[in-house]
Amino acid sequence: MQDAGGGDRYLRAMKTIAGRFARLVFLGQCVILATQLSAKPLKVFILAGQSNMEGHASVKTFDYIGKDPLTAPLLKEMRNPDGTPRVCDRVWMSYLTGPYDGSANGEGLGKLTAGFGARDNPTKDGGKIGPEFTFGIFMEKELNEPILIIKTAWGGRSLNTEFRPPSAGPYKLPKQIQDEWDKHPEGAHGIPKLEDRKAWQEKKDAASGVFYRMMIDHVKKVLADPKRVCPAYDPKEGYELAGFVWLQGFNDLVDGTTYPGPDKPGKYDLYSDLLAKFIRDVRKDLSAPMMPFVIGVLGVGGEKDNEVFRKAMAAPADLPEFKGNVIAVETAPFWDHAIDAAEPKKGEYDKIVGTAHRLKKDGTFDHDWKWENYWKPVGKPLPDERTWRFATVDAAEAKDKLEKYTDRRFRDIKLPAGMEKWYMPDFDDSKWMEGKAPIGKGVWKHSGVTLDKFSSPWGEDEFLLMRTTFEVEDLNYDSYRIAILARQGFHVYLNGHRIHTYIWWQDSPRYGSIVLKKEQIKHLKKGRNVLAAYANDQYSLKSPERYAAIDLRIEGITKVDQEKLDLALEEVLSPQDREALKGASNGGYHYFGSAKIFAQMGKAFAEANLRMLRVPSKP
């Protein structure tokens, strides 16, 4: 006989299981529904502009952000606990950039982190950031969903030409400039001759809109296959063009041909018109008529500088058609006045520490110069008493000759047979000319100094090879440097080892200071040393007479004298100034290459864009 109580327990158990299963089914359906409700199109943001959108803020300037209580919280967002730059898990980058002419564009790809700023190699981390870094960080934080940033930026590009929008039509000279050109058919002061003006216009037309088209083409390429860049992209959900940030303006600001006249209201009205057309054309070409648009108003110089241009740049945001979907964000408030104040002092400081010896107007040593006596000559005889052996040669092979004049003329040439190892200590220079330095020719005039009296004549040949010996008793200095006078580039050798090369030209008649590193100093030894240099002369089309001068020596400074020098230099560049300059890595036109400035800009751009996303505009 079946136990009735057991049957009841069985039925109750079955009911419990059935209820739990129903709840599981219900929860599963809820999860599916929630997933369906939470699924959204991929948010896509476009960042575009010239060099400041590229971003020249070196990662090494990050620490400076944390020294200001107002910006210290930003640094915490930008770094991991171990101090490394943050990597955004849900933000992906496609970054198209390249040289100024766009001839070698490349695409940088990956999760957003530091390194998507200006790049020498478009596909490689350049160690810099632009506004994209904190823009993406704060977008990720607020939206909490996958994000794709498409950035296109090239240095030195204007809105009036290279980024010229299609609806602006061909570039046309302003009437004021055209009238001036008409007065000078022969050409003058940068005005082309009448017969050259058609070619000038053709060149302008060819350049117009090139970078606009590169920008649009790249955005379309990425959006044709978003998953190539952003693995989180769901084709079923698609994407949404959620914002465009424009940071440009410097090349228009300084373009006196396109924007002539004094800096007063109305001067840059054309920029306002071009930017409004740019916004319309971008939206049309990307089929995004209401895409939020952020104008990053150029803030170079701070709030007191370039006011007329800044107002013109911000003006499109006030047009009725753009109300609610275009916002102008001023970047001038982020200008760092501490860095700005320190920069000129740094220029003077660099000039002092970069000069070993200053010359008087007649080309002789200025022994009364305040900074002259901290470094001491190394070895005997003293530099002024040393005998140099030297030889001169000309380029004999066609590949070594210059077909036309250029300021940058330093180059290596094939030397005559037997002279290949001329810089080695055991080379026989007994048949070379000999004399004291400087060795020179012609008349070198610059910076109020005239060099025309030389201890030894260079001769007619372009290239000079020179060698001297000196004896060293001890190596007790804390640091060593080369002190060198040279007009063009040079190689310097010590005991058969090349310790420095300078390949450019310089037009400053002074002895430059080149502090040596450990791997260079190791070639300096007690006893006999051989110092050698290779250099070339200079000439110009205006003055075909060749001129040159070269002299060099090695000098040292003790730790005590270095401390005295550093203390004295504080009157030129104070400790406070030096601290501020730790936040800079570039010039003022690039916001000093300050991560503190670029980080604030990126955050402000994100906040403006988010305001537009939360309050959708009506068509």
Residue 463 pairs with which residues in a beta bridge?
393, 536
pLDDT of residue 424: 98
What is the rounded CA–CA span in Å between residue 417 and residue 396?
A: 12
| SS3 track for 297-340 | ECCCCCCCCCHHHHHHHHHHHHCHHHCCCEEEEECHHHCCHHHH
pLDDT (average), residues 503-523 = 94
Burial of 1 (0-12, 13-18, 19+ CB in 10 A): exposed
pLDDT (average), residues 186-215 = 94
DSSP result, 482-548: EEEEESS-EEEEETTEEEEEE-S-----SEEEEEPPHHHHTT--SEEEEEEEEEE-B--SS--S-BE
In this prediction the pTM is: 0.79
Question: How many Cα atoms within 13 Å fall on the side-chain side of residue 505?
Answer: 13
23 confidence band (pLDDT: 50, 70, 90)? low
What is the rounded CA–CA span in Å between residue 127 and residue 117?
A: 7
What is the rounded CA–CA span in Å between residue 382 and residue 475?
A: 16
Which residues are CB-neighbours of 283 under 8 A, at least 6 positions away?
289, 290, 291, 293
24 confidence band (pLDDT: 50, 70, 90)? very low
pLDDT at 507 over 60: yes
What is the rounded CA–CA span in Å between residue 1 and residue 3?
A: 7
Three-state DSSP class for residue 132: helix
* Residue position matching structure tokens 């296109």: 152
Identical fold, 42-171+208-336+585-614 and 348-569:
no
First to last CA, the chain: 80
pLDDT of residue 544: 73
pLDDT of residue 19: 54
CB atoms within 10 A of CB 601: 28
**pLDDT cut 90: percent of the chain above it:** 88
pLDDT of residue 21: 47
Contact predicate 366/413, CB 8 Å: no
pLDDT at 34 over 80: no
pLDDT of residue 29: 45
pLDDT at 619 over 50: no
Length of the chain: 619
pLDDT for 147-156, tens place per residue?
999 999 999 9
Q: Where are the domains of the chain?
A: 10-39, 42-171+208-336+585-614, 172-207, 348-569
DSSP result, 139-155: HHHHH-S-EEEEEEE-T
pLDDT of residue 20: 53
Range scoring the smallest mean pLDDT among 20-34, 41-55, 250-264, 509-523: 20-34
Which residues are CB-neighbours of 2 under 8 A, at least 6 positions away?
none
Residue 104, φ and ψ in degrees, nearest 5:
-130, 55
Contact predicate 161/207, CB 8 Å: yes
Question: 348-569 in CATH: which number?
Answer: 2.60.120.260
What is the rounded CA–CA span in Å between residue 257 and residue 357?
A: 43
> Of 515, 549, 486, 521, nearest to 350 (Cα)?
515
The CA angle 540-544-550, to the nearest 5 degrees, is: 70
Strand pairing category for 239-247 and 479-486: unpaired
Strand pairing category for 548-557 and 376-377: antiparallel
33 confidence band (pLDDT: 50, 70, 90)? very low
Contact predicate 480/562, CB 8 Å: no
Contact predicate 505/408, CB 8 Å: yes
pLDDT at 6 over 60: no
Structural domain 42-171+208-336+585-614, CATH architecture: 3-Layer(aba) Sandwich (3.40)
Residue 51, φ and ψ in degrees, nearest 5:
-60, -30
What is the rounded CA–CA span in Å between residue 461 and residue 332?
A: 54
- Sheet harboring 293-297: ordered strands across? 106-111, 91-97, 147-153, 42-49, 239-247, 293-297, 326-330
Range scoring the smallest mean pLDDT among 243-252, 385-394, 500-509, 533-542: 533-542
What is the rounded CA–CA span in Å between residue 433 and residue 436?
A: 10
pLDDT for 569-618, tens place per residue?
999 999 999 999 999 999 999 999 999 999 999 999 999 999 999 865 44
pLDDT for 403-453, tens place per residue?
777 777 899 999 999 999 999 999 999 999 999 999 999 999 999 999 999
pLDDT (average), residues 462-469 = 97
Question: How many Cα atoms within 13 Å fall on the side-chain side of residue 251?
Answer: 18
pLDDT at 1 over 60: no
DSSP type of residue 167? G
pLDDT of residue 338: 97
What is the rounded CA–CA span in Å between residue 445 and residue 459?
A: 19
359 confidence band (pLDDT: 50, 70, 90)? very high
